[in-house]
């Protein structure tokens, strides 16, 4: 099985090696890392053996090489990363094998780009909305429990169950609930002091509970109150709590600090690349070409610097998506790349490579 070191030590396996990402786009800053992408052909012993790998990457994924077959498969799907790799600016191409010297991204552009570029951009817009929600609505470190969503009718008032218990010097573990038929999430509320023998199960069993606990109550005992449990709100809280703190644990702290530093509460870098993809999709529909090095750097960098309001960017993006869809409907591009040509390319290049 090949790894990054193998490809760098034995360059004979490479078809293409490029600087990619922000430096290829012309959107790099002094703090930008250098990303690398490329294409390789597996040696015969690996290709025909049991340790074939179709992609090689380092842990941070800032160095990625695609095996020739996977590259062709993704090219046939108009994958943006693959098309960008083929259209890499000359000053970012470190090595290009003569076998693919005439391979051009423009020869494989199709209507699929509407979905792969603009559609992906739309998914990033949704991601931006989710991030904005997390930043603007932080979740407290302590997760709420079932009693926080329970209320009791007390005379002419509705009070939180915690207050109802406190006013009577009751513990929730000494109480019991019986489901009231034909009423959603409504319960009759009892206390151990009403029983001659036995114990009730409590309102809930503990912080990991998903629902209230139910008890068996002897006939003839009247409830001390009626309690409602907003189970839907509790479920939503648990889901949002888990998602928020998972995000906290996984987020890139330096990128997050950059996000909040401009005070607009959105991931500015993510938004910049969203508009880069949208602009590239429009160019493909209008001109049938893909431009990796951006001539709209000033606008894109102004997004990264947080010079736009969040809602304004969302509106612009949604309008751009609509325009792109209209342009692709009129575009002379084929519905999909020529798959027979890709198949011939896949076989032909590999055959010739193994003869070298």
317 contact partners, CB below 8 Å, separation of at least 6: 121, 122, 125, 274, 275, 278
**11 occurs within a structural domain:** yes
Let me know if residue 49 belongs to a domain.
yes
CB 147 within 8 A of CB 203: yes
Same domain, 218 and 118: no
What's the domain range around 25?
Answer: 1-108+335-356
Whether residues 228 and 189 share a domain: the answer is yes
Last residue of a domain, one of 237, 266, 284: 237
Q: Is the pLDDT of residue 263 over 70?
A: no
Domain assignment present for residue 86? The answer is yes
Is residue 66 a part of any domain in this protein? yes
What is the per-residue pLDDT for 50? 75
- 188 strand-pairing partners: 178, 226
User: 63 and 29: one domain?
Assistant: yes
Across the chain, what does the average pLDDT equal?
A: 88
Tokens linked to 55: 């992609």
Pairing of strands 225-229, 150-154: antiparallel
Closest CA to 204 of 215, 193, 194: 215
Task: Report the C-alpha dihedral over residues 339, 343, 344, 346, rounded to 10 degrees.
Answer: 130
155 — pLDDT class (breaks 50, 70, 90): confident
Residue pair 42/49 in contact (Cβ under 8 Å)? The answer is no
User: For residue 6, is pLDDT > 90?
Assistant: no
For residues 65 and 56, give the distance between their C-alpha atoms in angstroms, rounded to a whole number: 5
DSSP code string of 190-213: EEGGG-SSS----S-S-TT-SS--
pLDDT band at 64 (very low <50, low <70, confident <90, very high): very high
The span from the CA of 74 to the CA of 88, in Å, is 16
Which pLDDT score, from 0 to 100, does residue 240 have?
84
**Strand 35-40 with 63-67, pairing:** parallel
Q: How far is CA 234 from CA 143, 161, 219, 239, in A?
A: 10, 15, 31, 9
* Residue 314: pLDDT band with limits 50, 70, 90: confident
- The pLDDT value recorded for residue 300 is 96
Q: Residues 329, 332, 338, 341: what is their CA dihedral angle, to the nearest 10 degrees?
A: -160
Q: Give Cα 290 to chain centroid, integer Å.
A: 25
Report the sign of the C-alpha dihedral through residues 305, 308, 310, 312, in that order.
negative
pLDDT digits 0-9 by tens, 77-94? 999 999 999 999 999 999
Note whether 96 and 16 are within 8 A (CB).
yes
Q: Are residues 102 and 231 in the same domain?
A: no
Q: Mark whether 228 and 206 lie in a shared domain.
A: yes
| Residue at which a domain ends, from 178, 203, 237 | 237
Residues 162 and 205 in one domain: yes
Indicate if 259 and 134 belong to the same structural domain: yes
**Which one of 214, 237, 260 terminates a domain?**
237
Q: Residue 343 sits in a domain of what CATH number?
A: 3.30.460
Question: Helices 339-355 and 68-76, interaxial angle, to 10°?
Answer: 170
Q: Does position 144 have pLDDT exceeding 60, yes or no?
A: yes
- Residue 18 falls within a domain, yes or no? yes
- Asked whether residue 12 falls in the same domain as residue 87, the answer is yes
Question: Residue 11's pLDDT is what?
Answer: 76
pLDDT higher than threshold 80 for residue 58: yes
Predicted structure pTM score: 0.67
> Are both 68 and 128 inside the same structural domain?
no
Degrees to nearest 5, angle at CA 112 with 110 and 115: 145
Give the pLDDT score at 130.
Answer: 57
- 180 and 196 housed in the same domain: yes
For residue 5, is it within any domain? yes
Number of domains in the chain: 3
Residue by residue, what is the 3-state secondary structure of 228-289? EECHHHHHHHHHHHHHHHHHHHHCCHHHHHHHHHCCCCCCHHHHHHHHHHHHHHHHHHHHCC
Is 26 a member of any domain? Answer: yes
Count of all residues that appear for the chain in the document = 356
CB-based contact 187:178 (threshold 8 Å): yes
Q: What percent of the chain has pLDDT over 70?
A: 91
- The whole-number average pLDDT for the span 5-12 is 78
Q: Worst-scoring range by mean pLDDT, 32-36, 90-94, 184-188, 305-309? A: 305-309
Give the integer Cα–Cα distance in Å for 313 and 29.
22
Residue 127 has a pLDDT of 66
Nearest residue to 244 via CA among 144, 145, 135, 149: 135
Do 135 and 256 belong together in one domain? yes
The answer, yes or no, to whether residue 178 has pLDDT greater than 90, is yes
Q: Are residues 98 and 119 in the same domain?
A: no
Residue 307 located in a structural domain: yes
């Amino acid at each position: 099985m090949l790894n990054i070191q193998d490809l760098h030590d034995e360059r004979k396996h490479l078809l293409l090696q490029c600087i990619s990402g922000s430096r290829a786009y012309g959107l790099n800053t002094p703090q930008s890392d250098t990303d690398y992408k490329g294409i390789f052909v597996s040696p015969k012993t690996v290709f025909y053996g049991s340790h074939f790998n179709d992609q090689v990457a380092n842990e941070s994924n800032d160095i990625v090489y695609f095996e020739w077959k996977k590259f062709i498969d993704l090219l046939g799907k108009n994958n943006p990363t693959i098309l960008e790799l083929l259209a890499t600016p000359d000053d970012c191409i470190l090595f290009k094998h003569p076998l693919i010297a005439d391979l051009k991204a423009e020869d494989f552009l199709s209507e699929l780009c509407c979905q792969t570029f603009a559609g992906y951009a739309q998914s990033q817009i949704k991601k931006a909305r989710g991030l904005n929600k997390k930043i603007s609505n932080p979740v407290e470190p302590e997760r709420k429990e079932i009693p926080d969503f329970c209320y009791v009718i007390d005379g002419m008032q509705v009070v939180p169950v915690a207050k109802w218990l406190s006013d009577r010097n009751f513990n929730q573990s000494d109480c019991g609930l019986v489901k009231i038929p034909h009423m959603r999430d409504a319960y009759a509320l009892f206390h151990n002091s009403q029983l001659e023998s036995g114990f009730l199960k409590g309102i809930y069993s503990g912080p990991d509970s998903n629902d209230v606990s139910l008890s068996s109550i002897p006939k003839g005992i009247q409830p001390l109150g009626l309690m409602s449990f907003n189970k839907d709100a509790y479920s939503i809280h648990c889901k949002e709590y888990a998602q928020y703190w998972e995000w906290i644990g996984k987020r890139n702290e330096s990128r997050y600090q950059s996000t909040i530093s401009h005070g607009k509460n959105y991931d500015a870098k993510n938004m910049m690349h969203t508009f880069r993809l949208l602009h590239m999709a429009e160019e493909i529909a209008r001109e049938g070409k893909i431009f990796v090095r951006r001539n709209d750097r000033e606008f894109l960098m102004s997004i990264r610097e947080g010079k736009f309001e969040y809602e304004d960017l969302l509106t612009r993006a949604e309008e751009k998506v609509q325009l792109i869809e209209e342009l692709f409907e009129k575009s002379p591009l084929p519905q999909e790349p020529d798959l027979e040509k890709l198949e011939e390319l896949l076989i032909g290049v590999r055959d010739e490579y193994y003869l070298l």
